[in-house]
Amino acid sequence: MQGDELLEAGFAFETVAFSVERAFQEAKLGAAGIDAGHYGNLADPTFLGHGALKAMHESGISLLGQVHMTQRFRLHRAVRVEEPLTVAGMVTRVEAVPRGRRVWCRFSYCDREGREVCETERSGLRPDPARKRGPGGGSAPVPDEDSFEQVTEHRLTPEGVAAYSDDTLNAIHNDPEVAARYGFRAPIAAGLMGIHYYVAALAGDGMPGRLDLAIRFLRPMFWDDRLSLQRRNGRMRLVNPEGKPVSEAEYSLQ
């Protein structure tokens, strides 16, 4: 994949300017079936993950075929829609796994005064298409079925998943041929798309001002899946039609 030779621990991405534009938030949340009007003038912090993707892309790193594995947001204060931010990031770790390489990165988001408003961590699988699909860098945990309560359901559609990822940075989300090349039966929803559902569940009384949200992606979310969002104490999960968690989240509002 283009840019793989750059991805070593310590590599610094280009620092980029970024903001969550109102029209962008409305369009992407609409594609996910979420009403952006509920958030008023505040940005869904999930969109800060797009700033990290922008930094990677502008550093010459191809995102084609990359599979999101983990994501963490530490939001220090609410971010306003269209608020100017700068995004700086670096590679913190690289590990060889059966399907290719897993890359960990950290990003910092600062406002005009240079104050950090959020920090994020993410890891992604950069697959080798020549290798058969298998474990991507960590086995899925044994599901814990006790005491989870269903909160809501979300129905993914090919049109919505494709519209969410219409920037063409990673066609694994909207092109069946590309998805098949990487071993998937159909295009898969972007990991960030699933995080919007967790944020929506936490924002029932308004967008939180502080948030620590850690997500582990366990299985693909195919673009025609119906997902059940379940919650227990400080944990949530999205469950696919086969009853298997596709992701799990731990959160704190402190």
pLDDT in tens, the chain (254 residues): 566 778 899 999 999 999 999 999 999 999 999 999 999 999 999 999 999 999 999 999 988 878 899 999 999 999 999 999 999 999 999 999 998 999 999 999 999 999 999 999 999 998 876 765 544 444 455 556 568 999 999 999 999 999 999 876 789 999 999 999 989 999 999 999 999 999 999 998 789 999 999 999 999 999 999 999 999 999 999 999 999 999 999 999 97
pLDDT at 133: 52
Instruction: Give the span between the Cα atoms of 191 and 204, in whole angstroms.
Output: 21
pLDDT at 205: 77
Instruction: Give the span between the Cα atoms of 169 and 24, in whole angstroms.
Output: 16
* Domain ranges, ordered by start, for the chain: 4-252
- Beta strands 211-217 and 116-127, pairing class: unpaired
Q: pTM, whole model, 2 decimals?
A: 0.89
pLDDT at 128: 77
Instruction: Give the span between the Cα atoms of 203 and 84, in whole angstroms.
Output: 23
> Token pair 């770790």 is at which residue?
93
Fold of the domain built from segment(s) 4-252: Thiol Ester Dehydrase; Chain A (3.10.129)
Residue 40 CB neighbour total at 10 angstroms:
10
* Main-chain dihedrals φ then ψ at residue 124, nearest 5 degrees: -145, 150
